[in-house]
Structure 1
Amino acid sequence: MKKFLHLDIDAFFASVEQLDNPQLRGKPVIVGGRDNRGVVATCSYEARKFGVRSAMPIALAKKKCPNGIYLPVRYARYEEKSAEIQAVYKEYSPLYQTVGLDEAYLEVTHYADAVPIAKEIKRRIQAECGLTCSIGLSYNMSLAKIASDLKKPDSFVIIRPDESKEVLRGLSIGAIHGIGKKSQEMLEKRGITTVEQFWELSLDEVVKLFGKYGQSLYDRVRGVDNREIVMDRSIKSISRETTLSFDLFEKEQILQVAADLLVELEEDLHNQLPDHDAQTLTLKIKYSDFTNRSKQRKRQSQEGWRGLLEELLDEVDVTNGVRLVGVGFSAFVDRNEQKAEQVRYEQLSLFPFLK
């Protein structure tokens, strides 16, 4: 039987801020910005006691926790700490799958006893990186993640095969990976709020509700998950966005914001995919009524990104006010492979002259 660990750094962004500034320890720290128009990226467990949660508008967080400490996001610092954490757990298994900056799955089947390995990883991350983590150990990836969530923060939980049914029975349906907020709301309308209630649905009913993903959910709520570690999780897109301090109605102002983001995005591309070029640019706009609009276009040959950005913005109506601007790159190609392909093409083009 296989063994999987799921590792999740506790309140990662907020914990890094408390690590860098010890005066923040034990205090309600909310990372996401000081501006009321932003959203919470992560908050400390002290802030969660007030009802603050990730993705909550900063304005609402301030109502729930007026004495909280509100800090901007520092991605470069979090990426630095994430690299330190990865350096630790990669020593223990050649099969690992990172999920964002603060989570990872490891297959540890090759250890006769994975319990001391999990404990050692926890100990080293705290000692060497200064952060606590929660680790779940089980016989598949889904249950390992559930285990790591059960007793946060700073926990280690095992779900064995003979325990899985009882553990699952007592969970809310939202604890199952793959059932998001909208799915929970849809199920709640049907009177389904727990895993045990979800068990009453037939496979046909689950597939009807969730489409092709229904089979996976039907299995997961029963402790079945045949997924394997995916080592090559290539980056499909990268993006930058910012929530504005006040609505903008002039395209010139919006373009300046987008252009600044574009500069940061090009730097991200250079750092994350140094040997790749992007082919597609996306412009995202969120209006004052919270509706979204996005425009996307593939770059032609040596066309500049700034000019393409201006073209995309020209196609967007901003008369009702814009509260958020975002830009993104996608459709990446390997620069070295492109050059090799060009050489092959040039060689082939010589053949007619060799007759």
Structure 2
Amino acid sequence: MDAFFASVEQRDDPSLRGKPVAVGGGGPRGVVAAASYEARKFGVRSAMPGAQAVRRCPELLFVKPRFDVYASVSREIRAIFRDYTDAVEPLSLDEAYLDVTGAESARAVAEEIRARIRETTGLTASAGVSYNKFIAKLASDQNKPDGLCVILPGKGPAFVASLPVSRFHGVGPVTARKMERLGILTGADLRDRDLPFLQAHFGSYANYLYGAARGEDHRPVRASRISKSIGAERTFSTNISAEAELAERLAGIADAAWARVERARVHGRTVTLKLRHPSFETITRAKSFAEPIATRDAFLAAGRFLLAGQLPVPNGVRLLGLTLSGLVAEAERPQPALPL
């Protein structure tokens, strides 16, 4: 995501748009948690003391962080990711690796995800597409904000060689200064050092650096958690207010969500409807059941019941979602006792 915390604040408060904004504290002991792109032009960065940030940008506007809001938006974005792959490895609230191996076009997937994030959240995201995690991460920063960078396998080593080592994921300020003392400023400089040299100076980290300098990274994308819920949602190109059309769209969303439920081999007891108005106000309504929901028809019926409670919607709906939670594996589901 592009300047995630600051962008959320600018989205929710129109008076902040186009202005230098820092999320955090501006007092003597305050720290910048995130800075808008307008603030970054003055050299304001995350983790910078608030007083220093004000000296660099006297017009800087500080807002208190709202981590519950950022986490909620992050969950919306990850729900979009999981419409394309279950292999999602979050790095933080605003960043994740996705393995889309098997897609006809990884570029097209990235473009579609970026478009859906914009439509769903009103925020922009940048994407890097490549054949391994290391280069995809580098590429994601290449054309920020609101950009896309694709590095094909044959171009990977040259791309890495051209970059300063300070851009490498995992090379922090301390390591970068150490490399500078050793005359290593770019990926090409790092590539020119042999493995024994790197081992002597960087220990167990040397093997990673040696491969990275050559565009190699064999780490798989690892999904970090077992899903607590499974669902699907869709943002519509035009707002929908007709009840019949909303019911039809909800059925398609239920189909997409239930396909994931069946793939995960789970059942759940709670159905949640998500509805977003054109103003970006988001409403969720849930209903829990004594027994796990075992069929798509029952899942959709619960969703339609929840939707009926929100009708009519004279201004229309821009997003609709349906989620199943309270999950249990099929093997763990209690079986009814046989009659004697």
Pick one of 110, 115, 124 that aligns with 1:123: 115
Q: Is the 8 A contact 1:11 1:44 kept in 2?
A: yes
Q: CA deviation at 1:162?
A: 1.3
Pick one of 174, 186, 190 that aligns with 2:182: 190
What TM-score do the two structures reach when normalised by structure 1? 0.62
Read off the aligned partner of 1:33 and give its amino acid letter: G
The separation in 2 between residues aligned to 1:226 and 1:122, in whole angstroms, is 26
Deviations along 1:278-299, whole A, 9 cap, x unmatched? xxxxxxxxxxxxxxxxxxxxxx
Secondary structure, counterpart of 1:18 in structure 2: helix
Cα RMSD after superposing both structures: 1.2
Read off the aligned partner of 2:29 and give its amino acid letter: R
Which residues in structure 2 correspond to 1:293-308 (within 5 Å)? none
Q: Is the 8 A contact 1:136 1:146 kept in 2?
A: yes
Partner residue, 1:140: 132
Secondary structure, counterpart of 2:196 in structure 1: helix
Partner residue, 2:33: 41
Q: CA deviation at 1:191?
A: 2.1
Secondary structure, counterpart of 1:133 in structure 2: coil
Answering whether residue 155 of structure 2 is matched by residue 163 of structure 1, we say yes
The separation in 1 between residues aligned to 2:214 and 2:225, in whole angstroms, is 27
Q: Is the 8 A contact 1:135 1:156 kept in 2?
A: yes
Partner residue, 1:62: 54
Which residues in structure 2 correspond to 1:268-279 (within 5 Å)? none
Secondary structure, counterpart of 2:30 in structure 1: coil
Partner residue, 1:260: none
The separation in 2 between residues aligned to 1:145 and 1:80, in whole angstroms, is 24
What TM-score do the two structures reach when normalised by structure 2? 0.65
The separation in 2 between residues aligned to 1:115 and 1:30, in whole angstroms, is 32
RCO comparison, higher one (Cα < 8 Å, 6+): 1
The separation in 1 between residues aligned to 2:161 and 2:224, in whole angstroms, is 34
Q: Is the 8 A contact 1:138 1:160 kept in 2?
A: yes
Pick one of 86, 89, 92 that aligns with 1:97: 89
Deviations along 1:219-275, whole A, 9 cap, x unmatched? 0121000000111359xxxxxxxxxxxxxxxxxxxxxxxxxxxxxxxxxxxxxxxxx
Q: Is the 8 A contact 1:176 1:221 kept in 2?
A: no
Deviant stretches of 4+, over 4 Å = none
Deviations along 1:166-186, whole A, 9 cap, x unmatched? 211210001111111100011
The separation in 2 between residues aligned to 1:222 and 1:177, in whole angstroms, is 14
Overall identity of the aligned pairs, in %:
45
Q: CA deviation at 1:152?
A: 0.6
Corresponding residue pairs, total: 226
Q: Is the 8 A contact 2:26 2:54 kept in 1?
A: no
Q: CA deviation at 1:71?
A: 1.2
Q: Which runs of 5+ in 1 are unaligned?
A: 1-8, 235-355
Answering whether residue 221 of structure 2 is matched by residue 225 of structure 1, we say no
Partner residue, 2:245: none
Q: Is the 8 A contact 1:136 1:145 kept in 2?
A: yes
Read off the aligned partner of 1:159 and give its amino acid letter: I
Q: CA deviation at 1:39?
A: 1.4
Read off the aligned partner of 2:34 and give its amino acid letter: T
Q: Is the 8 A contact 1:142 1:225 kept in 2?
A: yes
Q: Which runs of 5+ in 2 are unaligned?
A: 227-340
Secondary structure, counterpart of 1:163 in structure 2: helix
Q: Is the 8 A contact 1:31 1:72 kept in 2?
A: yes
